[in-house]
Amino acid sequence: MPVVKHSSYIAPLFLRNGHFNTFFSSIMRKLESVPYVRERIVTPDNDFLDLDWSKVNGKKCVVLAHGLEGNSDSSYIRGMVQFFNSLGWDAVCWNLRGCSGEPNITSKLYHSGCVEDLDCVIKWVNSKFNYEAVSLVGFSLGGNVVLKYLGEMGKSLVSSVKGAVCFSVPCDLRSSAEKLACPTNRLYMRSFLKSIRVKLEQKLKKFPGLLSFEGFEQVKNFFQFDEKFTAPLHGYMNAEDYYLKCSSKQFLSKIAIPTLLISAKDDPMLGRGCFPVKEAEANDLFFLETPDHGGHAGFCSGSSHGVFWSETRTAQFLNEHVGR
């Protein structure tokens, strides 16, 4: 029954609030920039994905997936990259479509179920490099993509992929959308919608007539956004259809490699449905850890300059279950 009963994460006293921990990790953390080397790969639908590499000539590699409106420069990504580089691992973050600083070619953006792009990345890494082991790390939306991918692939996953760790995952998309629609989360919603509006405007200018931008000002939550834009843009009937098909929770039982999901109980963006206790109890390879504190992709240490618990916990799990 791989439900971690007692998490080792103890938040500093001033960060025992989900909002504080979330903001501290994204705004206050001081990290040096990572000297990435960018590689562009072509997808099966003739679009592109930009991969940002940080190599130390390691025999192992960690592949990272960022969250909503993030990219390889997000603080939680840079922290994980730098920590694993210090352990002798190569690291690569794949920027979801439209998140690398350049609009993509096709009409697609990115969404919570875009596992075909992750599959493209994994196959590229597997075919080009001869790593002893590849591990996946995902945050928030990117974590949902990772978990869905692992569950869909099951035992057919390429053998080089040995383990995974995900943080703050909205594995029940409807539950997360409902939580984010609460008045206490208006600041997050405004920020997300303001950021994604830029990408959407670029897409609709490039593909006139694809969708109508009319009424965007009335969109106040993710259900409205997904109903009007995400679902029709990516071939789903409506928001409910999108949530039903893209939530990773339903695929957790099929995960066939050691995988750890860490979501804080005080995460302001996750509803009750995003804590899959029964799924963890039913799959010996899927572990669930729910610290009392941590916020959303936070799990901060007491210092803005130090290594975060999320990074050491990831390495600990992979060393323990995948091998040193």
Q: Which residues are catalytic, by number?
A: 140, 267, 296
Q: How many helices and strands, by DSSP H and E, does the chain display?
A: 11, 9
Burial class (CB in 10 A: 0-12, 13-18, 19+), 85: middle
Closest among 73, 61, 35, 273 to 170, alpha carbons compared:
273
**What residues contact 168, with CB distance under 8 A and at least 6 apart?**
67, 139, 140, 143, 262, 263, 264, 267, 269, 270, 294, 295, 296, 297, 298
CA distance 226 to 247: 13
**Given strand 133-139, what is the order of strands in its sheet?**
3-4, 286-289, 259-262, 161-167, 133-139, 60-65, 90-95, 48-54, 37-42
∠103-104-110 over CA atoms, to 5°? 100
With contact defined as beta carbons under 8 Å apart, do 294 and 21 qualify? yes
